Amino acid sequence: MLTSAAALSCVALASLAHAQDGPPPGWVGPAPGWSGGVLMGAAAAPEFEGSRHTRVQPVLGGEVYYRPGAGASVAMGSRGLVWTPRQTTAGSASLGLSVDPGRVDDDERKLTPVGRRPGSADLRGMGEVKMTALVSASGSLALGPVSLTGAVRQAVSSHRGTLVEAGLALPWQLHRHAKLTITPGVTWADRKHTQAYFGVTPRQSAASGFAVFDAGAGLKSQQVVFDFDMAFSRHWHLNALLRVQRLAGDAADSPIIQRTRQASGMLALRYEFQL
């Protein structure tokens, strides 16, 4: 997102890039064979969902794709491992394996493969939400010039919560080499997720001073994502990402929340290659 947004997986294969000029005409998705990109820049995000403070950190990430033909593709990198069995002009479908970094209740935010862990000393006494693997299924459906997007993410361990996301991607071709995609959307969370991140148990209340709060399932947030891409050359791109979010339901009502409206963003250079 950012996220989503900060990643630390570097693509060493970039130095082997040569002068193939992208996919064939009319191709959708990654080019045939090996391809990918390296991302270098900076990202800013709240210390945790609902925090009034923002942290800035460097971004060094990337992704490698392998696609044997016009069918399925596999990607490994900043988004984790993603298998896309279907990708056409009508839409796409993917399965993924990634990481939920969890949250800490101090300022010792250790570095992980997906950036520094969210958290703050403002949450002292709330304890740790442990990291967990996430399995996901996502897809898109083209409706003329726009696309419906959706994803389901399930935590394998830790809180074992579920997130369901839905959005509408609105692409806007600003220039031959510049594109802005605006995606308004909503996120629903089950009780396990909201209780882990927004609930306060009696034990946590005694340790932190926050009032006891039982968080239930429901709409977690509404958000709008602005994704800008501009190509300087065949290999070099400028990427800018802005995500504006408003917490809703029990997530917004939680006593740990300092601010319900938040923004996060990233500005980076991307080097693309095809082997």
Averaged pLDDT, 114-142: 93
What is 12-274's CATH number?
2.40.160.40
Please give the helix or strand (H or E) that residue 271 lies within, else none. strand 261-274
- Name the band, by pLDDT with cuts 50, 70 and 90, for residue 115: confident
Name the CA dihedral angle for 96, 46, 123, 189, rounded to a multiple of 10 degrees.
-40
On whether the pTM is more than 0.75, the answer is yes
The domain limits of the chain are: 12-274
Show the DSSP H helices in 159-210 as ranges.
Answer: 191-198, 202-208
Q: Residue 73 and residue 64: Cα distance in Å, rounded?
A: 10
Q: Residue 52 and residue 262: Cα distance in Å, rounded?
A: 8
List, for residues 19-34, the tens digit of each pLDDT value.
344 555 556 777 788 9
Lowest pLDDT segment from 97-111, 199-213, 258-272? 97-111
Q: Residue 1 and residue 156: Cα distance in Å, rounded?
A: 20
- pLDDT computed for residue 79 by the predictor: 80
List, for residues 96-105, the tens digit of each pLDDT value.
999 999 999 9
- pLDDT computed for residue 29 by the predictor: 74
- pLDDT computed for residue 131 by the predictor: 94
Residue 17 clears pLDDT 90, i.e. is over it: no
Q: Residue 102 and residue 221: Cα distance in Å, rounded?
A: 18
* Percent residues over pLDDT 70 in the chain: 89
- pLDDT computed for residue 113 by the predictor: 67
